[in-house]
Amino acid sequence: MHRNIYRYVAIGTLTLVGLTWGATVAQAGIFHHKNKPLTTADDALASVNSQQPDKELFDRAMLALKKGKYDVARLDLQTLLNTYPDSEYQMRAKLAIGDTWFKEGGSAAMEQAESEYKDFITFFPNQPEAAEAQMKVADIYYKQMAKPDRDPTKAVRAQEEYRQMILQFPDSTLIPQAKQRLREVQEVLADHEEDIGSYYLSRNDDSAAIARLQSLIDSYPLYSRADEVLLDIGDAYAAQARTAQQLHLDAAARERLSTLYVERAAQAYDRVILEYPMMPHVDDARDHLEALNQPIPDPSKQQIAQSEAQEQSRELVNLKDKFVLLITARPSTLQAARMGEPLLTDPTPILAPELVKEAMSDVTWAQHPDGKPAPTFAAASNAIAPANGTAAPAGSMDASGNTVAPSAAPSGDTSLQLQDVSGASGGTSPAVDTSATQAVSAPSSEGTPAPQSTGSTGNSIQATGASASAPTSSTPASTPASWPSAAPQPNGGLPTVAPKNNTPLPATQAPTEAPNQINDVTHSGHAINTADQSNAPSGKKKSPKPKFNSKDASSSKHKKKKGLDKLNPF
């Protein structure tokens, strides 16, 4: 027992001595922790050995920025800019102020950072650091991107800024990083457009779905689900082909219109097989082509190799990534391609109203093909361009919805012209010269001349052919007997439009005059004052009213008294 007591006392004594020694050493600063020196990752000028005060200020600001003391860093940098205007650290200090706002985060801080970076690009546009400033401006919107089902404004701005960086600084070392960020941003934007197109498909709005999905595939060809987009486009055209079979058209027109939409659906399925042969929905595209009785294309080795390399560059999404995606507000960019050139300019977007006008033009062509080839659909411009340079039929609509005017008539044909003919007063008035098939003044089939149309002024409208015109009369026609005899006109073998019988109606068939209307209503009440008022004096006296007889009639003012009311003197 005494041994245990001694042991505990010895342990306590050693512990007390150790604590006392440790406190003494700490107070003496023997093991004092020193700050690690800055590296080039923290400060681009860290390797520069200088004892100048501007260098000391800059290093102290960079150390505060590394520790997260953004206010202290901004104060030191602003002191450097104001105190040493000729310092060689002016440019880096101006850029570092934007970095302090950028790393601080928050909406207000990000706006301030963008302003600082834009000012830097304005003051130092030819410096290599200007590309870095533009890259960070794009990164501001990249960090604020929302998921595809949210507002895409930040993603659109990020795309604009990355494109500007690539176009404005093509020789910068940050170009590969900017292109990869641009692919990731376009992946998010493509997801947003695909969600909208799928919604229109669920609502059976084929024109709106095709417009959205076709614009998507034209703007973002590196999209990870491009094969699904093309399949949806083909399915929308196939649905339009089925709808064409139910229109109230003749059988030939329905067949032509259905065939046109089937061919467009086949083009979308062909793109899946040829441009994305290593994507998972290629077999579905082949099945759709077989169902439509369309030939199945074979991709080349180069197309297969390019698609395979593009698919292998994408990262696989595991269960952990899906879980993180559910609990965060950031969009997933893992499926974005790691190779391929992203588009730096947006193609002409396709609008749903333009597709509706195109559908109307397709129906017009199906009803009256007139030997014209089927209209083709250009995805980028949404223009309907007939092949072989053949003009569209007159009366049909072009891609902009404007009615196609009839082409000029060839030489030798009749056309609408204005000619001067003598009128009733000896003057001249314009006469409309119509074609021979639409002549107004032409001889009838029985040899009787057809009447001329006369207006209110007596100016006659007559038809003149290409070689001869009908004679006109100097006096207006008042009766059928006064119609002038028109010279026969060459009608090209077509029947003329005129009444067969121009003789006037006999008098027996003329309508008789209606008899004068007589009021046969009899009056059973008091006599009406029919005295002649023509000789009445013009004074204010009025004619006396007839005396009211209560036995004959009653009114609201004069009512018969009944019962006890007869005894009431009032």
Higher pLDDT, 76 or 567: 76
536 pLDDT exceeds 70?
Answer: no
Mean pLDDT for 404-408 is: 40
Cα 133–185–111 angle (5° rounding)?
A: 40
Residue 32's pLDDT is what? 44
Q: For residues 395-427, b (16+ Cβ closer than 10 Å) or e, as one string?
A: ebbbbeeeeeeeeeeeeeebeeeeeebebeeee
Mean pLDDT for 477-501 is: 52
Residue 328's pLDDT is what? 83
Mean pLDDT of the chain: 74
**pLDDT bucket at 495, cuts 50 / 70 / 90:** low
Residue 371's pLDDT is what? 79
227 pLDDT exceeds 70?
Answer: yes
Distance CA 96, CA 6 (A): 64
How confident is the model over 166-207, as pLDDT tens digits? 999 999 999 999 999 999 999 999 999 999 999 999 999 999
Tabulate helix, strand, coil % of the chain (nearest 5): 45, 5, 50
- The domain locations on the chain are 51-124, 127-203
HSE (CB half, 13 Å, CA atoms) of 292?
A: 29
Residue 222's pLDDT is what? 95
How confident is the model over 289-331, as pLDDT tens digits? 999 999 999 999 999 999 999 999 998 888 888 888 888 888 9
How confident is the model over 451-475, as pLDDT tens digits? 444 443 444 434 343 333 444 444 4
Mean pLDDT for 555-565 is: 61
551 pLDDT exceeds 80?
Answer: no
CATH number corresponding to 51-124: 1.25.40
3-class DSSP string for 12-79: HHHHHHHHHHHHHHHHHCCCCCCCCCCCCCCCCCCCCCCCCHHHHHHHHHHHHHHCCCHHHHHHHHHH
Residue 4's pLDDT is what? 61
Helix extents (H) in 276-342: 282-291, 301-312, 319-327
Residue 454's pLDDT is what? 41
Lowest mean per-residue pLDDT among 45-49, 225-229, 286-290, 476-480: 476-480
Asked whether the beta carbons of 201 and 236 are under 8 A apart, the reply is yes
Distance CA 62, CA 58 (A): 6
Asked whether the beta carbons of 159 and 186 are under 8 A apart, the reply is yes
Asked whether the beta carbons of 99 and 125 are under 8 A apart, the reply is no
Residue 559's pLDDT is what? 61
Mean pLDDT for 96-123 is: 94
120 pLDDT exceeds 60?
Answer: yes
Q: pTM surpassing 0.85?
A: no
